[in-house]
Amino acid sequence: MKSESLLCTTAEAAKLLGLQPQTLRKWAIYETGPILPKRHGRLLRWNRNEILKFIGEIK
């Protein structure tokens, strides 16, 4: 499995987390969130495994 398939967009990550995309963008800008994205140029990509791990921790 490629590592690319483990990355998702801000919109996809927000949907998985049940949050607004702007919340994730704020996490990225201020580096305050429990999950931080990888930057690919201007784009933010979120690690799907980290998201799922975080969801498991809060349940």
Would you state the pLDDT for residue 2? 56
Q: What is the pLDDT of residues 1-17, one digit of tens each?
A: 455 579 999 999 999 99
> What CA–CA distance (Å, rounded) separates 51 from 59?
13
Residue with tokens 């704020």: 26
Q: What is this structure's pTM?
A: 0.84
From 48, 50, 51, 58, select the one nearest 2 (Cα to Cα).
48
Would you state the pLDDT for residue 57? 87
Q: What is the pLDDT of residues 9-49, one digit of tens each?
A: 999 999 999 999 999 999 999 999 999 999 999 999 999 99
